[in-house]
């Protein structure tokens, strides 16, 4: 018979385990009922275990719902857990034991992510490598966790942490990936809720940075001094075509038509093909690259910008780009008489690189409490695309022409784009290109 007692810690600690009769198989238990919380019981095993349960009939059938082990679970927490279990039964009309069984048999977040990659991302997204890399980098600690056990609060905290450490763009992209993983799982029949629902992205500012007339000569000067010729030419072609970074990096020779002076991109981010007009400056660079590529071994010579990576083409040249921006910034600073005089006072070794010179200048300026202009240090490679579009606009191109040349796609403009041929696009890009190179003459 169950024993009725007021559950207090000292009383429960004093309970002795039952004695198991000789020859009896299995364990034996004594049952104690709490006099304060109806249905809360404590089962004491002959081995000394003491476990809290809620005893209650569900749909006419008696059920014991495990709450936790004493003394790891306190009496107060056991009573609270019993009340929560009752709420689940009475209000939510659910059996807590059945819910636990579902969790034990359901998919983990890692399994859900693998399905997302194999059934969707790798098949339909050109940027699937980013999904694979970022989720493994930031979310691998969830891979063995049941997908339904990842709470909205956990994701909210992670979103805020990534914002503080890696910035708002990284935080927002990661939130988008988590949301997409759950949405696809639900679409494929997973019976659960998306825990990202209601979590808002951090407000982002749309970038409007592009190279100004006084900055372009400095960039061209820095490019002419860059030793990494593949990275240098990649940056120039990015500027002269306005194509997306991924398309320029993977540019192939069989896509380039020197006779028509065009580059046919088989598939852009929008899923469409795009014909890009090539200006004389771009053609000249490509011809030089073709000659240089004759000495590239292996299959990498099929790419305009060969590289040693797994893909065979140039990886994102972050170091070269940083060095070029530093060099261009120093050249821009030297246009200011005061800063130029400051730079002249800095003693550097003859073989010092751009990185060392830039660091020395910024350190010296900080010591002298001189605030240096940002220069080109806030320019990203992606901004080269915006630079071409901005200079097209400055030289009179319409929004439709700019959109066509950059491969933009919108419901409002699609019909207009379809009626355009490449000739007015070429004329617009040519005017913009000439205007950019004319900055060298002023």
Q: Same domain, yes or no, for 10 and 97?
A: yes
Cα–Cα distance between 372 and 370 in angstroms, integer?
Answer: 6
Handedness of CA 17, 21, 25, 30 (dihedral sign): negative
CA 341 → CA 104, 334, 345, distances in Å? 71, 8, 7
> Where residue 19 sits, what CATH number does that domain have?
3.30.160.390
97 with 115, same domain: the answer is no
Domain tally, the chain: 2
Same domain, 36 and 118: no
Position 341 in a domain: no
Q: Are strands 29-34 and 3-5 parallel, antiparallel or unpaired?
A: parallel
Q: Which residues contact 109 (CB under 8 A, 6 or more apart)?
A: 139, 142, 143, 145, 146, 147, 150, 181
Round to whole Å and give the CA distance between 323 and 222: 9
What is the predicted pLDDT for the residue at 152?
94
Res 95: pLDDT: 79
CB contact set of 312 (below 8 Å; sequence gap of 6+): 298, 299, 300, 302, 303, 306
Q: Which of 54, 40, 149, 56 is nearest to 99 (CA)?
A: 149
pLDDT of residue 409: 63
Task: Give the dihedral of Cα atoms 210, 216, 218, 220; nearest 10 deg.
Answer: 120
Of 93, 122, 111, give the one whose Cα is nearest residue 150.
111
Residues 35 and 120 placed together within one structural domain of the fold: no
The pLDDT assigned to 342 comes to 86
Q: How many CB atoms are closer than 10 A to CB 386?
A: 18
Which of 82, 105, 128 finishes a domain? 105
- Judge if 69 and 117 occupy the same domain: no
Cβ distance 222 to 359 under 8 Å? no
Is 290 contained in some domain?
Answer: no
Q: Does residue 129 form part of some domain?
A: yes
Distance CA 56, CA 10 (A): 26
Residues 95 and 120 in one domain: no
Co-location of 12 and 97 in the same domain: yes
Q: Are residues 39 and 55 in the same domain?
A: yes
Query: Within a domain: residue 116?
Result: yes
pLDDT at residue 417, as a whole number: 38
Q: What is the pLDDT of residue 105?
A: 60
Output the pTM of the full model. 0.59
Q: Per-residue DSSP letters for 30-42?
A: EEEEESSSTTEEE
Distance CA 287, CA 412 (A): 38
pLDDT for res 101: 64
- Rounded distance between C-alpha atoms, residue 114 and residue 396, angstroms: 49
Answer yes or no: do 94 and 123 share one domain.
Answer: no
Q: Are residues 81 and 158 in the same domain?
A: no
Report CA dihedral (235, 236, 237, 240) to the nearest 10 degrees.
Answer: 130
In this structure, the answer to whether residues 115 and 176 fall within a common structural domain is yes
Residue 425 to residue 33: CA distance in whole angstroms: 84
Residue 168 lies in a domain: yes
pLDDT along the chain (442 residues), means of 10: 87 91 85 92 91 88 88 91 86 75 73 92 85 94 93 95 91 95 88 90 80 91 94 94 90 94 86 86 94 79 86 89 95 92 84 90 90 92 86 78 70 42 72 83 70
Of 105, 136, 163, which closes a domain? Answer: 105
Contacts of 242 (CB under 8 A, 6+ apart): 276, 384, 385, 387, 388, 389, 405, 406, 429
Residue-range definition of the domain harbouring residue 127: 109-187
**Which residue from 300, 325, 327, 305 is spatially nearest to 316, judged by alpha carbons?**
305
Residue 416 inside a domain? The answer is no
* Predicted pLDDT of residue 9: 93
Which of 172, 187, 202 is where one domain is finished? 187
CA distance 301 to 118: 31
User: Does 114 map to a domain?
Assistant: yes
Tell me how far apart the 2 most distant CA atoms of the chain are, in Å: 104
Q: CB neighbours of 225 closer than 8 A, spacing ≥ 6? A: 327
């Amino acid at each position: 018979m169950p024993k009725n007692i007021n559950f207090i810690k000292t009383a429960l600690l004093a309970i002795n385990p039952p004695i198991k009769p000789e020859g009896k198989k299995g364990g034996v238990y004594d049952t104690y009922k709490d006099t304060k919380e109806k249905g809360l019981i404590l089962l004491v095993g002959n081995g000394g275990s003491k476990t809290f349960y809620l005893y209650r009939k569900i749909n006419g059938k008696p059920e014991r719902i495990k709450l936790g082990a004493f003394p790891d679970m306190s009496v107060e927490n056991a009573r609270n857990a019993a009340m929560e279990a009752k709420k689940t039964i009475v209000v939510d009309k659910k059996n807590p034991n059945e819910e636990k069984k579902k969790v034990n048999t359901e998919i983990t977040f890692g399994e859900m992510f693998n399905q997302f990659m194999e059934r969707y991302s790798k098949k339909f997204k050109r940027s699937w490598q980013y999904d694979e890399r970022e989720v493994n980098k930031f979310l691998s600690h969830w891979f063995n966790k049941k997908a339904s056990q990842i709470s909205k609060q956990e994701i909210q905290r992670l979103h805020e942490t990534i914002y503080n450490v890696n910035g708002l763009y990284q935080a927002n992209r990661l939130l988008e990936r988590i949301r997409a993983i759950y949405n696809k799982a639900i679409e494929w029949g997973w019976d659960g809720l998306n825990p990202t629902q209601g979590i808002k992205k951090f407000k982002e500012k749309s970038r409007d940075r592009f190279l100004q007339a006084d900055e372009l000569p400095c960039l061209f000067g820095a490019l002419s001094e860059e030793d990494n010729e593949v990275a240098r030419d990649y940056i120039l072609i990015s500027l002269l075509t306005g194509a997306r970074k991924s398309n320029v990096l993977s540019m192939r020779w069989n896509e380039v038509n020197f006779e028509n002076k065009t580059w046919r991109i088989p598939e852009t981010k929008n899923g469409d093909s795009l014909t890009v007009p090539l200006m004389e400056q771009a053609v000249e660079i490509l011809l030089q690259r073709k000659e240089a590529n004759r000495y590239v071994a292996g299959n990498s010579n099929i790419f305009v910008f060969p590289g040693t990576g797994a893909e065979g083409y140039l990886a994102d040249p972050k170091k070269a780009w940083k060095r070029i921006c530093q060099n261009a910034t120093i050249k821009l600073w030297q246009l200011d008489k005061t800063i130029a005089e400051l730079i002249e006072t800095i003693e550097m070794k003859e073989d010092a690189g751009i990185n060392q010179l830039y660091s020395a200048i910024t350190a010296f300026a900080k010591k002298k409490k001189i605030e240096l202009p940002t220069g080109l240090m806030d320019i990203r490679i992606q901004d080269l695309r915006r630079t071409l579009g901005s200079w097209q606009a400055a030289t009179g191109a319409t929004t439709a022409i700019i959109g066509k040349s950059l491969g933009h796609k919108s419901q409002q403009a699609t019909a207009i784009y379809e009626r355009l041929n490449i000739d007015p696009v070429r004329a617009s890009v040519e005017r913009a290109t000439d205007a950019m190179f004319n900055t060298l003459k002023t």
